[in-house]
Structure 1
Amino acid sequence: MIRTATPADVPVIHTLIRELAAYEKASEEARADEEQLREALFGERPAAFAHLAVDDESGEPVGFALWFLNFSTWRGVHGIYLEDLYVRPEARGGGHGRALLTELARICVERGYERLEWSVLNWNRPAIGFYESLGARPQDEWTVYRLTDGALAALGSGR
């Protein structure tokens, strides 16, 4: 079962994000706290949205998708950028990841969005195989760039 996250879900979303960071071997980079998530997801001007995959028997969350809107200047419409998709290892293979992506695709179709995009680590072969089985294709001609920390501060201050 997939459901839209509520403010009461912030602690479990935070936990799932920490689990994802550990899986991606980047625990030290996951610095967001629960209050930041609460503000981003449910504040006065939400910047992101989340859905939870819930185990049918226990009712416990076993995965999540956290996303935000992007915009295509070429197509002239919004799309969804999937920031995080994670299903706990013990729940993988149960259709939760597919159900989360199906819900996001449904939102795209319903709202007239023309793209659902995300990034995947090059070493995550199980995820890549899963995404390709759904019809997703890598965008090999693009390379992701990122400014953070000191480089971002330097550029932002004109240095």
Structure 2
Amino acid sequence: MQTDNRTRPAQPADVPAIVDLVHALAEYERAPEQCHLTAEQLERALFGTTPAAFCHVGLIDDEVVGYAIWFRNFSTWRGSHGIYLEDLFVSPAHRGSGLGKALLAALAQECVRNNYPRLEWSVLNWNTPTIDFYKSLGATPQDEWTTFRLTDEALTELGS
């Protein structure tokens, strides 16, 4: 299993750069007003006493220019954990460098190393360049599923 030396697990010192990139992703996805992530929140999620998420970073000249934030999910049908990729983002100046593929390969290596049978993620339907990139790697869209989400007042009302 060959590892791309431009990727590695995130370290606490990477958190400010990752937060900046998360906000850049929100801008790219046309929803900057929905992104409220702070460095403190991300540091707690990645490096707290019980990490809830994990992150790999992509580096160019020792600068964090990309990231993949992920967490373990569980498939009842497979009876095993897998990886759910929450975000994958490479700064626009470094797209086409192979860094996005390298970050996905790092997560695929996590799956292989841990015997996880699935690596899954979502992509916005309008984001055709990214969809084409994922398809070029052999990923297949799961068009038969619709994602649902509860937030804000609806979540509070149901949970009350």
State the TM-score, normalized to the length of structure 1. 0.96
Count of residue pairs the alignment pairs up: 155
State the TM-score, normalized to the length of structure 2. 0.96
Residue identity in the other structure for 1:148: T
Are 2:56 and 1:51 aligned?
yes
Instruction: Give the match's secondary structure for 2:100.
Output: helix
Any runs of at least 4 consecutive aligned residues in structure 1 with deviations exceeding 2 A, and if so which? none
Aligned counterpart for 1:75 among listed residues 73, 78, 86: 78
Are 2:135 and 1:104 aligned?
no
The equivalent of 1:33 in structure 2 is 38
Are 2:27 and 1:22 aligned?
yes
CA distance in structure 2 between the partners assigned to 1:62 and 1:40 by the alignment? 20
Q: Residues 1-47 of structure 1, C-alpha deviation per residue, up to 9 Å, x if partnerless?
A: 00110111110110010000000011011112111111100000000
RMSD: 0.5
Unaligned stretches of 5+ residues in structure 1: none
CA distance in structure 1 between the partners assigned to 2:157 and 2:38 by the alignment? 25
Residue identity in the other structure for 2:65: V
Instruction: Give the match's secondary structure for 1:146.
Output: coil
1:62, CA displacement in angstroms? 1.2
Unaligned stretches of 5+ residues in structure 2: 1-5
- Kindly, what percent of the aligned residue pairs are identical? 61
CA distance in structure 2 between the partners assigned to 1:121 and 1:97 by the alignment? 17
